[in-house]
A and B are shown apart, each in its own frame.
Chain A
């Protein structure tokens, strides 16, 4: 067990507008627009590829990768415009994650997970935001499983808990854990809106966090998804929290309309890894040739990647259209469809993996063969809760219940005409 290092000295003043220090030979722009961040991403991807072996070995982002990714602003796409953030579309968020995942799944995982920091931050009031985010360069991770315990006290909460799956927490400046809230006499505090137990995401005091260092896994090792705990009750100011299960609010800022949006970007991991697998298969077949069966396998794999990208992008585009329309909320079906995209992309990844294993050199079994890591990464990415087929169960139920009868995207009013 080790203690998490304290947050480095914070920059003062308003959100960074100047280019941040990267390293000699890599010129980056100030990450003040999605376009700038994408250009920065292109500039640092070769360096991320260089770091991939070491990222895997130390099971978290290397200091160099973390420094470059922070400087590029790749964890900041979701910060709200009202606070000077880029407020990039979901389409951009998922695309950026996929770009990194196609180079290294672990790097992509960090992008997808730490991207949610902007969503969390947008739920803070002005005072807490100013305290916690003097600059948007404050990568923020969060774990919501299993839930901890927050006892309501004067001005805040006394928090304990053991959280698993803390992806990105080694790289994060702020680490969140979720907890259900209780009065000091043990009475559960209920969410007045839903009547369910109040479930908060809390910015945890870093010096109280004990890191389990238990992330020894098959693949996506560099996600650094260690468990962590707060053993002795630690105080969290009331403002340093948000309602994790808050009801949707169609009148909020786009990224703040529903808590369900925060993890759409992770869908990009399946896309990027599947694309990487196809690249591996092409390299293998270029080197040794292949028969018609191998061509069919490659064709299936490439086609799956194309369809998955198209589907995920389209789902993001539709969702963006909804959330950027003032006053428009997501219907249950629209939300279920968005959430299901990850499971569908994972299904594509699973089929791509099956084909690529067939046509890639059998030497992937050897640790020295670079394809092996991509295969292991794919296998581990497929174990994530977001990829589970249970999300298709939810989609099915939402389809069946939809009164507007928009069972598929093609059923949306005006959809066919608009796309012709």
Chain B
């Protein structure tokens, strides 16, 4: 365990580049906190403080509100850097980096109230949906949510709710029922003891419960808002905060290649076959890194241009599925290089394999995403 005082000197995280430099500096601290974070199922306090002070959790705050407004490339990069240490820690980095996105949905008065500064980490989950009943000045909210990654390290948690008024669904102009995200202080919700998992253990993705709790109307946002080409870059589309998660597959793969390289380097000789396996893993890693970063760079190009939205073709999410698919091959290749010891809990590759298994469970990595990619291509060709 490290103490918060043990943090290296960090720069004020005013932009994406300083955050990246800070993250580089805190990696040894994160490394030291992996085991305990895995054991307790969420970030240790020193790990949380390190990520917070490095500026990871404020990466998504808009420049107009004094935030760093880190690009998706930069966010993906710090997620990758942390994932090279541990997948669960990286999950926190990716998810809580959405704090600025959530905050960006708030009107000025609610923003001032909830975010007196940018160090108010915010977790969020929209599955399954809770229920928000319209009352005077806000909503009465009840629900039991799952997978609130980062909740143990957050000040606020945003829960997705279907909205009702006098027991009738509240409909939007397009006829769909209004779904909102509502802010609660984490200390006011009941965190469930349901995060006992095979991988990404340190992600702290516990469920939570709220029972008939009042939420002021201002402390909510429309989950399915219309894309807005004139919004600040990271707030133009609802899906933007979660693209950086593709960095986890890259970081886990890099970790596997690191371990396999070390395993061969410590032997007096390595056979051509083993060198070939390692070389194949490294080459696949370069391929997924290119795919992932090219994907987010194209989104960055559009969102950081005023008045522009990324096209559906740019937004179609197939890269993460490719990255995860190839990451499995990379880990298999590296496992073959290091030998049977991969099964031992005491060997770090075992954690890489578990984290990757956890990652594969997440919808963003499913191969079924490619159906959407194909659909977008065909619709584009028809139009």
Contact = CB atoms under 8 A, between A and B. Distances in A.
A218 interface: yes
Nearest to B277: A389
A379 B371 CA distance: 28
Nearest to B360: A357
Interface residues of A, number: 35
A83 interface: no
A357 B346 contact: no
B343 A217 contact: yes
A129 interface: no
Contact of B332 (A218, A350, A365): A350
A367 B197 contact: yes
A354 B345 contact: no
Interface in B357-378: 357-358, 360-363, 366-368, 371
Given A217-B345, A383-B343, A375 B357 contact: yes
Contacts of B361: 357, 362-365
Interface in B309-338: 325, 328, 332, 335-336
Interface string A272-310: 000000000000000000010110010000000000000
A380 B343 contact: yes
A405 interface: no
A147 to B, nearest CB: 16
B273 interface: yes
A205 B382 CA distance: 77
A415 B135 CA distance: 80
Contacts of A220: 343
Contacts of A354: 325, 328
A376 interface: yes
A390 B339 CA distance: 11
Interface string B342-358: 11111000100110011
A384 interface: yes
Interface in A159-175: 165
A410 interface: no
A393 interface: yes
Given A293-B371, A367-B198, A362 B362 contact: yes
B198 A376 contact: yes
Nearest to A292: B371
Contacts of A293: 367-368, 371
Given A365-B361, A367-B196, A383 B273 contact: no
B344 A217 contact: yes
A219 interface: yes
B353 A218 contact: yes
B344 A385 contact: no
B357 A366 contact: no
A365 B331 CA distance: 18
A367 B196 CA distance: 6
B196 A366 contact: yes
B197 A366 contact: yes
A368 B196 contact: yes
A297 B346 CA distance: 33
A314 B361 CA distance: 36
A275 to B, nearest CB: 20
A393 B197 contact: no
A357 B368 contact: no
Contact of B366 (A358, A364, A375): A358
A393 B325 CA distance: 25
B313 to A, nearest CB: 20
Interface in A72-99: none
Contacts of A375: 198, 357
B340 A165 contact: yes
B200 interface: yes
Given A363-B361, A368-B196, A372-B198, 19 more contacts: A217-B345, A218-B350, A293-B368, A297-B367, A358-B366, A362-B363, A365-B198, A365-B200, A365-B358, A366-B194, A367-B197, A367-B198, A375-B357, A379-B353, A382-B335, A383-B342, A383-B343, A384-B340, A385-B340
19 contacts: A214-B344, A216-B344, A217-B344, A218-B342, A218-B345, A291-B371, A293-B368, A294-B368, A357-B360, A358-B368, A364-B198, A365-B198, A365-B361, A367-B197, A372-B198, A376-B198, A379-B357, A382-B335, A383-B342
Interface of A: 165, 214, 216-220, 291, 293-294, 297, 350, 354, 357-358, 362-368, 372, 375-376, 379-380, 382-385, 388-390, 393
Interface of B: 194, 196-200, 273, 325, 328, 332, 335-336, 339-340, 342-346, 350, 353-354, 357-358, 360-363, 366-368, 371
